[in-house]
Amino acid sequence: MISAAATGFFTAFSLILAIGAQNAFVLRQGLLRAHVFWLALLCALSDALLIAAGVAGFGAVVGLYPGLPRLMALGGAAFLAAYGALRFRAAWRGDYAMVLSGQSAGLWPTLAAGAAFTWLNPHVYLDTLGLIGAISTQYQPVAQKLAFAGAAMASSFTFFFGLGYGARVLAPVMRSPRAWQIFDVIVGAVMWAIAASLLSGALQENI
């Protein structure tokens, strides 16, 4: 039980830890101190649902619909390219009066963006339905499988809430428009790099 739980927690945590579009968005909202709880909850619950599906054995869905990953990659690339462009535009304009005053987009637009970063990312399906689902097969007793899945879900809650609220530590550094410009350029570059990677993979599948 303990071994299964430890494996589940650290496997999921290591997969989420990589810098990605979703993490960058949560970090940004954490710096703004806006809608952090609900955004972190959305991301963690989404991961929990996908982990449950992966452990339950639904990784075979991709085998039934082989064209699904490519469609998701194209949709995700388009979304990330658009959001990255917005971040570059914000950095170019340099108008951070609203940001420095702590203002952010409303709750529902923020959650909609968070959902898009989560569900339009093909890698999240590879990690949860594929990798975590595959690792869970080594635990045959139901109790061990539940311990593995529960710990993996707990790691998502730990990470996203830690990232969202932990971002406040950087708040003193982000008190100038220049700091936000640099941050937005980095976020935009991350978004475009991931979009390019998704697009490249989707196009290679079509060759």
Residue 22's pLDDT band, with cuts at 50, 70 and 90, is: confident
Residue 67's CB is within 10 A of a number of other CB atoms, namely 9
Per-residue pLDDT at 35? 94
What percent of the chain clears pLDDT 70, i.e. is strictly above it? 86
Residue 47's pLDDT band, with cuts at 50, 70 and 90, is: very high
The mean pLDDT value of the chain amounts to 81
Are 15 and 127 spatial neighbours (Cβ–Cβ below 8 Å)? yes
Per-residue pLDDT at 65? 64
d(CA 135, CA 57): 11
d(CA 39, CA 35): 6
Per-residue pLDDT at 206? 57
What percent of the chain clears pLDDT 90, i.e. is strictly above it? 21
